Chain A
Amino acid sequence: MDDPVANALKKGSLEMLVLALVEEGPRHGYEIGKLIEERSGRALRFHVASLYPALYALERRGLVAGSWGTASNGRRRRCYRLTRAGRRKLAEQRARWKEFSEAIDTIAKVSYA
C-alpha cells in the first residue's frame, strides 16, 4: 500500500480498528497487530512505529486502559481494554465511517460483486 490515499485511509482508520478489536476483549499490542493483518486478509499491516504510538495516544486520551496481565500463551503482557469513553468514541466513529463510506460509494458508484 504505497498509494498516498490508501496510506492516509489506513492511518485514519487505525484508531477505529484498535478500538473495535479491544471491544471484543482485552488484547495486547502484538495480538492487535496480528488480528488487523489476519482479518484484513493481509491488506492492512501496521508498523510497530504506528501501532504502539496509536495505543499510547488512545490510552492518554482515556479511550483504552492498559494493564499488565497474562496472555493466552502464558506470558506477561500489557493488555488494553476499552473504556466507557472509548466505547462512545467507537460508536461515533463507526457511524461516521458508515456515513463516509456510503457517501463515497454513492459518488464513486462502487459496486460489490
Chain B
Amino acid sequence: MPDFAEIVRRNLGRLPLEPEREEEIFAELAHQLEDAYTDALSRGLPEARAEAEAMTQLGDWEKLRRSIVTSEKGAKVLWPHPWAVPRAISWLALAIVAALCLVPRFREAMGQAPAAWFANDWLGVTGSTLHELADRGVKVRDARLVAFAALHTEDQAEADRLAEMAVAMDPAYTWVGSRLLAFRGAPDNSVKWANRLVAWDPDNAVPRLFAAQPLFLTAVAEGSPVPNSPDPKLARLAVTTEWGHQMQAAFDAPRFDTYEAKRFDLDRSVLRGLEGENSRSLVAYSCIFGAFPDMLQAMHYASLVTETLGPEAERAGHNDEAARMYWSVARFGQRVEENSSWECNFAGTRRLEAAAYARLAALAARSGNTQEAAAIQLLQAGVERLNRDAGARQKARASQWDSSGRAATIACVAAWLAMLCLTGCGFWAGLVAFRRPERALGGWPGALAMASSYAPGLLLGACAVLYLVMEPFLRSPFEFATRQALFGEMAPFWYSYWRGWDTFGFWRLHYIVQHMLWPVAASIAVLFVGLTALRRVGRAHEQRAQVQ
C-alpha cells in the first residue's frame, strides 16, 4: 500500500494549527485514502488503478488545505498563504537592506526618494529658508546670506529689496543686481541695476549690454532689422545715439563676465553651511546660467561694424580706424566664448568673429602685411572649425542627456518602488508582530498579507537598483570647481531625476496637500466607516454562527 500519510503531508504542507491537531487531520485524511484504496482493490482493480482512484477523491490540494483551515478557524483565507514568501527570506532581505544602510553612500541614495517626494517642483532652497537666511544675514550683518537670498528669491520685488540691502552692507555684492536684469517686464529695475553695474564694473561688457538693451528696443521700435542685413537707419543709430555709445563701450570692454563664477562661489559658500557636502540644491542651481544679456543687439551691432561702418571707414581711407573696429568685434567674440557657457550664443558670435577676421585679413593683405594676413586667416579658420564642430558637441551633449535621462527614469521607478515596498514592509512587520500564524486572516486582508510578504524582497531589489544607478552621481557637488563642470557632469542625471518625479507629480507631498488633502481625508473617513461597519457585520455573523 502506498504511504498515504506521506502523500497527505507532502501535499498539504504545514497547516497553521496546533501540531497535534495537524497530525490528527493528516492521519484522518490518510485513512480516508487507505479505505478508498482498499475498497478499490476489493472490487478487483489493480494496485495502480486503485491508487489513482483513491487519489481522485482529493483533487485540488490547495482547495482542501484552505477549506480545512477555514473550517478550523471560522475565517476564509489562510495566512500565511502558501504563495507567501517564507518569513526567513523576508527577514533576510530586510537584514541586508539594514546592513546596506550602514554604508553612507547607500544611505544617501535611499534618501533621494523622500527628498524628491517632499520637495516642490524644484529642488532648491525653499522660500521660507531663504527668508530665514535673509533675516539672519541682516541680524548678524552678513551680506553674503542676504545676497544669496536675493539671488534665489522668486518674488521680484523681494529680490530687489534684498539685493539693495546686500549692496548697502557690502558694495562688493553689487553684482547680485545682475539677477534683477534677467527679470522680464521690469524695465525700471533693469535700467537701475544696469546703470549701477556699469558704474561699479566699468570694464565689463555685460552691464553695458544690459544698459544698451532698452535703448536698442526703443531705437529699432519702428523697424525690424535682421542681422547681416544692415539697415542704414540702424547704422546711423549706431554712431549717433546712446545705444551706439554703449555698444562700442561693450565691444571695447576688456571683460565679458556674466558673474557666473561669483554666483557659483556664493552658492557654494552658503549651501555648504546649509546643506552640507552633499547639497543637491547646488546641483539644482548649477542649471541656472549667469546673467546673460540679449545677444541679438550685439549681433546687430557687430554686423553693422563689419558690413557697414568698417567698410565705410576703409573707403574713407581710415584703415586704422577700420582695423580697430574689426578687432573690437573679433575680440568681443573671443571674450564671449572664453567667459560664458552658453553654447547657443557661440554660433552667432563665432560667425561675426570670422567675418571680422576676414575683413582684417583682407585689410592686412591690401596693406602688404602678408604674414599678418596669413596669421589672421588661421584665426578665422580656427573659429570656423569650432563652429563646424559645434554640431558634434551638441550631439554628444544630447546623447549624454539621453543616457542620463534613462538612468534617471530607472532611478525614479526604483525609488517609487522602494517607497511602496517600505510601506508593504511596515504592513508585513505589523502582521508578523501582532498576528500569530495560528490565527487565520480572511478575505482581502489575507491576500494583502500574502502580497506584503514580497515587500522585503522587492525592497531589497529596488534599493539595489536605485543605489547602482545613482552611485556615479552621488559625488559631492563641491568637488567641481566651476558651474559648467558641475552642470556638465551632474545636471543631466539630477535634472532628469527631478523632472522624472514630475511624472509622478500627482504623488508629490505638496501636491497632495495642496490639491488632494480633502479628497484623501474624505476617502480615508469613508474607508474607516466602511471597514468598521463591515467588521461589526462580520462579528455579528460570527456570533450567530457560534450560537448555532
Interface residues of A (CB under 8 A from B): 28-30, 33, 47-50, 52-54, 56-57, 60-61, 75-78, 89
Contacts and interface: CB of A to CB of B under 8 A. Distances in A.
Given A29-B28, A30-B32, A78-B28, A49 B60 contact: yes
Given A49-B58, A53-B68, A53-B70, A61 B545 contact: yes
Nearest to B547: A61
A78 B27 contact: yes
Interface string B17-32: 0000000110111011
A98 B394 CA distance: 90
B548 A49 contact: no
Nearest to B31: A77
B224 interface: no
B71 A60 contact: yes
Q: Which 9 A-B pairs have the closest CB atoms?
A: A53-B67, A53-B71, A57-B71, A56-B71, A30-B35, A49-B64, A48-B57, A78-B28, A30-B32
Contact of B74 (A28, A49, A60, A76): A60
10 contacts: A33-B32, A48-B58, A49-B58, A49-B59, A49-B67, A50-B67, A53-B70, A56-B71, A60-B71, A89-B548
A33 B72 CA distance: 20
Given A49-B59, A53-B64, A78-B28, 20 more contacts: A47-B57, A47-B59, A48-B29, A48-B59, A49-B67, A50-B67, A52-B25, A52-B29, A52-B64, A52-B71, A53-B68, A53-B71, A56-B25, A56-B71, A56-B72, A57-B72, A75-B31, A75-B34, A75-B35, A78-B24
B63 interface: yes
Q: Chain B contact residues: over half helix, strand or loop, or mixed?
A: helix
Contacts of B35: 30, 75
A30 B67 contact: no
Nearest to A58: B71
A78 B26 CA distance: 11
Contacts of B59: 47-49
B31 A52 contact: no
B347 interface: no
A61 B63 CA distance: 22
A28 B24 CA distance: 13
Given A47-B57, A78-B27, A52 B32 contact: yes
Contacts of B34: 75
A70 to B, nearest CB: 12
Given A75-B31, A78-B24, A52 B57 contact: no
A52 B68 contact: yes
A30 B34 CA distance: 10
Given A52-B68, A57-B71, A28 B31 contact: yes
Contacts of A33: 32
A110 B29 CA distance: 40
Contacts of A50: 67
Contacts of B74: 57, 60
Residue from A50, A52, A75, A77 with most neighbouring chain B CB atoms (10 Å): A52
A37 B263 CA distance: 91
A23 B27 CA distance: 24
A104 B28 CA distance: 38
A89 B28 CA distance: 25
A54 B70 CA distance: 10
B64 A48 contact: yes
B72 A49 contact: no
A80 B31 CA distance: 14
B60 A30 contact: no
B36 interface: yes
B57 A54 contact: no
B546 interface: yes
A33 B31 CA distance: 13
Nearest to A77: B31
Contacts of B27: 78
Contacts of B29: 48, 52
Nearest to A85: B548
A43 to B, nearest CB: 18
B55 to A, nearest CB: 10
Nearest to B27: A78
A90 to B, nearest CB: 12
Contacts of B64: 48-49, 52-53
Contacts of A75: 31, 34-35
A76 B57 CA distance: 20
A49 B63 contact: yes
B57 A56 contact: no
A50 B548 CA distance: 20
A89 B546 CA distance: 12
Given A49-B58, A49-B59, A61-B545, A78 B67 contact: no
Given A61-B546, A78-B27, A48 B70 contact: no
Nearest to A75: B31
Interface string B487-502: 0000000000000000
Nearest to A62: B546
A109 to B, nearest CB: 32
